Chains A and B, each alone.
Chain A
Amino acid sequence: MRNSLVTFIAVACIAAAVPALAHHASQAEFDKNSPKTISGVLTRVQWTNPHVRWYIDVKNEKTGEVETWMLQGSGPGVYKANGVSATGVFPIGKTYTAMIAPARDGSNGGYVMTWTLPDGTKMDFWHDYGDGSGEKP
């Protein structure tokens, strides 16, 4: 169920682009051409405009320290319209994996392209990668 629901988010982002607010160029802020994958425990979901934000505690393999990453995505309206809610899909305290476009300023942050939820379900939020299918890499 989730699988089928999730693929369509990307489609809806396009279809709903007209009534959305103006956007700054996110590619300037995040490097969508160099995705990286992080895993950690979700500590907080901020269901706000203009972008939903997720806070994840990620263990730094080099230092052993746990660092908080702030990830962001589209506006909450886009997710809501596709049946994705904060409490329904993102319970906190569990471990999530995210493929992100890392922030270009080097901070612990990024734009989420794909989520892997605690139950293994993949949610694809990104639609312009490679062959346009939104499923790479």
Chain B
Amino acid sequence: MRAIATATVLLLGLTTGLAEAQYMPIPKTFQPSLEAAKKREPIKNPPLTAATPVKDTLYRIGDGLGMLRDIEERDTILTLDFKATGTLNVAGQSCTLANFRGQLRYSVPAMRLDFACAQPDGKAGERHVQVIANAMAWDELTPGGAATPMPNAVTDRLMRLWALPQSIYKAAMIAGDKAKTTLEGGVLYLSYPLPAPLNGTARVALNTTDAIQLTMDSGEKYQLGYWVDRVELRVGNTVEELTYSDYAELNEPDYRSEVMFPRHIVEKRNGMVVADITTQRTNTYNPYVVMPVPANVKAAFPASAATAVPPAIPAGGGGRGGGAGPGGAAAAARVQTPRTADGHPDLNGRWGGGGGGAVGTASIQGLDKSGNRVTFATLEEAKAKATKIFARNYTARHANPTYSERDQGMTDRYRDNMNPPLYKPEFWDRVQYLDMHGNYLDTAFLCAPVGLPRIGAPIRIIQSPTEVVFLYNNRNTWRVVPTDGRPHGKEDDRDQTYMGDSVGHWDGDTLVVEAVGFNDDTWLANVATAPGWFHTTDMRVVETFRRDGNTLYYGYTVYDPDVLSEPWVVGPRPIQLNTTNGPYNEDPPCIMNTRPMVSRERG
């Protein structure tokens, strides 16, 4: 009887609950985003008299487009999503678009174009979904749906991918020393070979005279410019030419990221106009965009097609805090792993934080005794030697509080979306939506517990032969995990909780903890930000704890087959044994802010 009731509830949950939950109404109280600059005005610069060096040219292009974020000004564009209207040439026929959506994921790199022509009655006709991921091309019935390999489309689609303004910066960075700038008739041109495996060239005409001048609150003036006016890509006998104009921030007005995109795009192929589109809306906040390669597509291409194209993101990650945490694996190898009397690795102890290296590991800038700005390796060194310490490096633009928060939003999503859970295609838009409305829909903002696995690794482990106790500072949370071989509590007896019902066992020297019985109030997270990664009550989390010397390797895998198309694997990441003897402080309670959220921006 009880089982039937549960089944009915589950069924209802799946049919109605989820459908309703997909787009919860958001109060219309959010205000348009703040203007980061005090003043923003178009200006005309005189024509150049000499070619700008390549490095400076690329900096100006990337900066103008809003790609270079944070004080380090690293390329922080991982994904893009844009919607447009206009006309497109499909199989030799020009059509008026009923809808058009472009998505890019530069880590692959990959692009999906999803569009339909308007029929005579104005309704959308046949849907076209064209994907390129690295050197594999395929068509989909719907995004993420049934796929047909399109080996003959690889070159054309890669040319389109590399022709977008953000792609141009990235492709020229990949070209390195082979990129050149020239001044011809007062116009600055940037030329470079296209990334492999395309055997071709790109030649970009830049508009260096029109600029947007920002006046910052400090009074300093700052220019955005070096717009990509036109790019000509040549591969074999194909000449692809794209013309861009009217660059603007086209994100939703309460979700600005300061990334510019051309409002008008005209594409010519061998002299024929094949596309003339007007961008209506972008999401440049590194949104949830994925292009998983279907099995039948993978089978249709040689294995080398998955890695033939270089990733179009900076080497070594990018995005603030993108590191894997304190290293030390080499040092750990020299320390014997302590064991308990029963022979298992001894996990007892305080892990991470404090002496574990969280605070003070960032490079610190300051003034030395002669007044020179220097970088100190550690906070300790800065404390000892600096006469003055800068919290951050300074640039007029990125030190601005509004810019700075948008930089943080960009870098957070960059880092998180490098390894996102792969949701089933029908949930892709929902994840984007939840992320965009995270201020309102992420229950952690309402002071609810963050739950497993977002809470991360425990700060203290207490181990006995029959159980392991995990202590977390976050909300003073604890878990008692039996390791005596007992199964999970009966489903009918247990509540749906934030941390789940956990049992553990030893797999060799690795402690494996499996948790089930969750509520669906929380979101998953890589580190902290949880960009809309929801889960169901059927989620199962399997964590692994392995001690090597004085390093604990903590990783987890999330199984949620109702919404994830494959398990989500995170880590393992190293956490150092913390040998400090300081007190364990109570985490003060979370008391909700009395002032409502005023915008959708997070940072």
Contact = CB atoms under 8 A, between A and B. Distances in A.
Interface of A: 4, 7-8, 10-29, 32-33, 46-51, 70, 76-77, 80-81, 103-105, 107, 109, 127-128, 130-135
B379 interface: yes
Interface size band for B: 35 or more
B389 A11 contact: yes
Interface in B16-58: 31, 33-34
A107 B595 CA distance: 10
DSSP class of A's interface residues: helix, strand, loop or mixed?
loop
Contacts of B587: 49, 76-77
Given A4-B383, A50-B590, A17 B321 contact: yes
23 contacts: A11-B364, A11-B382, A14-B362, A14-B391, A17-B320, A18-B321, A19-B527, A22-B442, A22-B529, A23-B602, A25-B599, A28-B33, A28-B599, A29-B597, A49-B591, A50-B590, A70-B594, A77-B473, A105-B598, A127-B392, A128-B401, A132-B391, A135-B388
Given A128-B404, A134-B391, A15 B359 contact: yes
B599 A33 contact: no
Nearest to B320: A17
Contacts of B529: 22
Contact of B598 (A4, A8, A29, A132): A29
A46 B444 CA distance: 20
B218 A18 contact: no
A11 B376 CA distance: 12
A21 B528 contact: yes
Interface in B564-597: 585, 587-591, 593-595, 597
Contact of B447 (A25, A49, A77, A81): A49
DSSP class of B's interface residues: helix, strand, loop or mixed?
loop
Contacts of A14: 362, 391-392
Contacts of A51: 593
Given A27-B404, A33-B401, 8 more contacts: A11-B360, A13-B391, A22-B412, A27-B405, A28-B31, A49-B591, A50-B447, A132-B391
Interface string B395-428: 0000111101110110010000000000000000
Contact of A18 (B392, B528, B597): B528
B588 A49 contact: yes
Nearest to B31: A28
A25 B379 contact: no
B598 A104 contact: yes
B601 interface: yes
Contacts of B591: 46, 48-49
A21 B444 CA distance: 8
Nearest to A22: B529
A25 B590 contact: no
Contact of A23 (B456, B594, B603): B603
B119 interface: no
